[in-house]
Chain A
Amino acid sequence: MLVIAAVCALSSARADIASFLKTHCFECHDSDVQKGGVDLASQLPFDASDPNLFAKWVRIHDKIESGEMPPPKKPRPLAAARETTLEELHDKLIAAESAQFETAGVRTRLRRLTKREYENTIRDLLHLDGIDVAGFLPDDDEAHGFNTNADALSISHVNIAKYLEAAEHALHYAIATHPEKPTVQTQRVSMASGVRHVFLHGDAVLLRDKKPDHVFPPAGAHMHIGEGEHQKMGLSTSGASMGLFRDEDESFHPYFDDFISVYPGRYKLKLSLWSFQWDKGEVLPSRGTEAARLSIVTKTGDGRGGGHPSRLLAYFDAPSLESQIHETEVWLNIRETFGYNTATLTKPHQTRGPLRAMGVSAPGIALDWLEIEGPFYESWPPPSHTALFGELPLVQFDPNANPDVRQPAQMKFRKSWSPGQNQRDPVEGIWTTASKNPVEDARQLLADFLPKAFRRPVSAELVEQYLGIVEGRLGAGDCFENAMREVYKTALCAPDFLFHVEPADKLNNFALANRLVYFLWNSKPDETLTKLAESGKIREPETLRAEVERLLEHARAERFVEDFPGQWLKLRDIAATDPDRKLYGEFDLFLQNSMVAETRAFFREMLTRDLDATHLIDSDFAMLNERLAKHYGISDVTGSTIRPVRLEPESPRGGVLTQGSVLKITANGTTTSPVPRGAFVMERLVGVPPDPPPPNVPAVEPDIRGLTTIREQLAKHREDPACAGCHEKMDPPGFALESFDVIGGFRENYRVLTEDGRRVEGPHVDASGQLADGREFSNVVELQQLLAGEREQLQRNLARQLAVYATGRELSFGDRDRIEQIVAKAEKSGGGLRSLIHELVQSQLFQTR
Chain B
Amino acid sequence: MKTLVSVLAILSGIGAALADEAEFQFRVTSFFIPEREATVREAFESIHESLEVVDLDFETAVATLRFDPAVVVERAGDNEENQRALLSQMLRGSTRGVVDVLPISAVPNEQIEEVVIPVAGLDCIGCSYAAYEAVRRVEGVEYAIASFRDGRVLARFDREKTSEEQLLAELMKKRIPLNYQIDEPNLVPRNELSVVRVSSEELRAQGDAVHAIDGDPQTKWETRWQGGDVAQPPHEIVIDLGKSRQLTGFRYLARQLGSVGAFAKTEFFISESADEFGDEPAAAATFIDVKKSQTVDCDQPVTGRYVLIRMLTEIEGRPNGTAAEFGFIERKPD
Say whether A associates with B.
yes
CA of A221 to CA of B131, assembled, Å: 17
B122 pairs with A229, CB closer than 8 A:
no
Given contact pairs A229-B130, A354-B206, A222 touches B125 in the complex (Cβ within 8 A)? no
Q: Which residue of B lies closest to A354 (CB)?
A: B206
CA of A231 to CA of B218, assembled, Å: 26
Q: Which residue of B lies closest to A215 (CB)?
A: B125
A233 pairs with B129, CB closer than 8 A:
yes
Q: Which residue from B121, B133, B148 sits with its C-beta under 8 Å from A229? A: B133
CA of A215 to CA of B126, assembled, Å: 8
Q: Which residue of B lies closest to A219 (CB)?
A: B122
The answer, yes or no, to whether A82 is at the interface (CB within 8 Å) is: no
Cβ contacts under 8 Å, A230 to chain B: 124, 126-127, 129-130
The answer, yes or no, to whether A288 is at the interface (CB within 8 Å) is: no
CA of A401 to CA of B266, assembled, Å: 87
Which residues of chain A in 207-222 are interfacial with respect to chain B, using CB atoms and an 8 Å cutoff? 215-217, 219-222
Cβ contacts under 8 Å, A222 to chain B: 120-122, 127, 148, 177, 218
The answer, yes or no, to whether A138 is at the interface (CB within 8 Å) is: no
The answer, yes or no, to whether A225 is at the interface (CB within 8 Å) is: yes
B126 pairs with A235, CB closer than 8 A:
yes
Q: Which residue from A215, A217, A225, A354 sits with its C-beta under 8 Å from B176? A: A225
A762 to chain B, nearest CB (A): 29
B96 pairs with A226, CB closer than 8 A:
no
A229 pairs with B120, CB closer than 8 A:
no
The answer, yes or no, to whether B98 is at the interface (CB within 8 Å) is: yes
A217 pairs with B123, CB closer than 8 A:
yes
Given contact pairs A232-B97, A354-B206, A224 touches B133 in the complex (Cβ within 8 A)? no
Q: Which residue of A lies closest to B132 (CB)?
A: A229
A229 pairs with B123, CB closer than 8 A:
no
Which residues of chain B in 202-236 are interfacial with respect to chain A, using CB atoms and an 8 Å cutoff? 206, 218
Cβ contacts under 8 Å, B75 to chain A: none
Interface string of B101-127 (1 = CB under 8 A from A): 000000000000000000011111111
B38 to chain A, nearest CB (A): 13
Q: How many residues of A contact B (CB 8 A)?
A: 18
CA of A406 to CA of B33, assembled, Å: 60
Cβ contacts under 8 Å, B120 to chain A: 222
Q: Which residue from A225, A231, A232, A354 sits with its C-beta under 8 Å from B121? A: A225
A155 to chain B, nearest CB (A): 52
CA of A223 to CA of B120, assembled, Å: 11
Q: Which residue from B97, B127, B218 sits with its C-beta under 8 Å from A225? A: B127
Q: Which residue of A lies closest to B171 (CB)?
A: A225
CA of A70 to CA of B153, assembled, Å: 94
Cβ contacts under 8 Å, A216 to chain B: 124-126
Q: Which residue from B123, B133, B206 sits with its C-beta under 8 Å from A226? A: B133
The answer, yes or no, to whether B48 is at the interface (CB within 8 Å) is: no
CA of A504 to CA of B126, assembled, Å: 73
A359 to chain B, nearest CB (A): 11
The answer, yes or no, to whether B174 is at the interface (CB within 8 Å) is: yes
Given contact pairs A222-B121, A354-B206, A229 touches B126 in the complex (Cβ within 8 A)? yes
Which residues of chain B in 168-206 are interfacial with respect to chain A, using CB atoms and an 8 Å cutoff? 174-177, 206
Q: Which residue from A215, A221, A226 sits with its C-beta under 8 Å from B130? A: A226
Q: How many residues of B contact A (CB 8 A)?
A: 22
A226 pairs with B122, CB closer than 8 A:
no
Which residues of chain A in 222-246 are interfacial with respect to chain B, using CB atoms and an 8 Å cutoff? 222-226, 229-233, 235
Most buried by B among A220, A224, A232: A232
CA of A307 to CA of B127, assembled, Å: 29
Cβ contacts under 8 Å, A224 to chain B: 122, 124, 126-127
CA of A226 to CA of B174, assembled, Å: 8
Q: Which residue of A lies closest to B206 (CB)?
A: A354
B84 to chain A, nearest CB (A): 22
A215 pairs with B124, CB closer than 8 A:
yes
Cβ contacts under 8 Å, B148 to chain A: 222
Most buried by A among B96, B120, B122, B175: B122
CA of A224 to CA of B126, assembled, Å: 8
Given contact pairs A220-B122, A230-B126, A225 touches B206 in the complex (Cβ within 8 A)? no
Cβ contacts under 8 Å, A219 to chain B: 122
Cβ contacts under 8 Å, A235 to chain B: 126
Cβ contacts under 8 Å, B133 to chain A: 226, 229
Which residues of chain A in 619-663 are interfacial with respect to chain B, using CB atoms and an 8 Å cutoff? none
A16 to chain B, nearest CB (A): 79
CA of A220 to CA of B175, assembled, Å: 15
B138 to chain A, nearest CB (A): 16
B129 pairs with A229, CB closer than 8 A:
yes
CA of A222 to CA of B218, assembled, Å: 9
CA of A649 to CA of B130, assembled, Å: 63
Q: Which residue of A lies closest to B97 (CB)?
A: A232
CA of A225 to CA of B121, assembled, Å: 9
CA of A229 to CA of B126, assembled, Å: 6
A91 to chain B, nearest CB (A): 77
CA of A219 to CA of B176, assembled, Å: 14
Q: Which residue of B lies closest to A223 (CB)?
A: B122
Given contact pairs A225-B127, A225-B130, A226-B133, A232 touches B122 in the complex (Cβ within 8 A)? no
B125 pairs with A233, CB closer than 8 A:
yes
Q: Which residue of A lies closest to B133 (CB)?
A: A229
A226 pairs with B126, CB closer than 8 A:
yes
B96 pairs with A232, CB closer than 8 A:
yes
Cβ contacts under 8 Å, A229 to chain B: 126-127, 129-130, 133
CA of A354 to CA of B174, assembled, Å: 20
Which residues of chain B in 125-147 are interfacial with respect to chain A, using CB atoms and an 8 Å cutoff? 125-127, 129-131, 133
Most buried by B among A215, A222, A230, A235: A222
Cβ contacts under 8 Å, B175 to chain A: 225
CA of A730 to CA of B318, assembled, Å: 63
B124 pairs with A217, CB closer than 8 A:
yes
CA of A220 to CA of B120, assembled, Å: 12
CA of A235 to CA of B218, assembled, Å: 26
A221 pairs with B97, CB closer than 8 A:
no
Most buried by B among A223, A233, A354: A233
A80 to chain B, nearest CB (A): 81
CA of A697 to CA of B168, assembled, Å: 70
B96 pairs with A225, CB closer than 8 A:
no
Cβ contacts under 8 Å, B124 to chain A: 215-217, 224, 230
A226 pairs with B98, CB closer than 8 A:
no
Cβ contacts under 8 Å, B177 to chain A: 222
B123 pairs with A225, CB closer than 8 A:
no
Q: Which residue from B174, B176, B218 sits with its C-beta under 8 Å from A221? A: B218
CA of A219 to CA of B127, assembled, Å: 11
A392 to chain B, nearest CB (A): 41
CA of A564 to CA of B132, assembled, Å: 60
A220 to chain B, nearest CB (A): 7
Interface, chain B (partner A; CB < 8 A): 96-98, 120-127, 129-131, 133, 148, 174-177, 206, 218
- 5 sampled A-B residue pairs with Cβ under 8 A: A216-B125, A222-B122, A225-B176, A226-B133, A233-B125
Closest A-B pairs by Cβ, 6 of them: A226-B130, A230-B126, A229-B130, A225-B130, A233-B126, A222-B121
With A230-B124, A230-B127, A233-B125 given, name 16 new contacts (CB 8 A): A217-B122, A220-B122, A222-B122, A222-B148, A225-B121, A225-B127, A226-B126, A226-B133, A226-B174, A229-B130, A229-B133, A230-B126, A230-B129, A233-B98, A233-B126, A354-B206
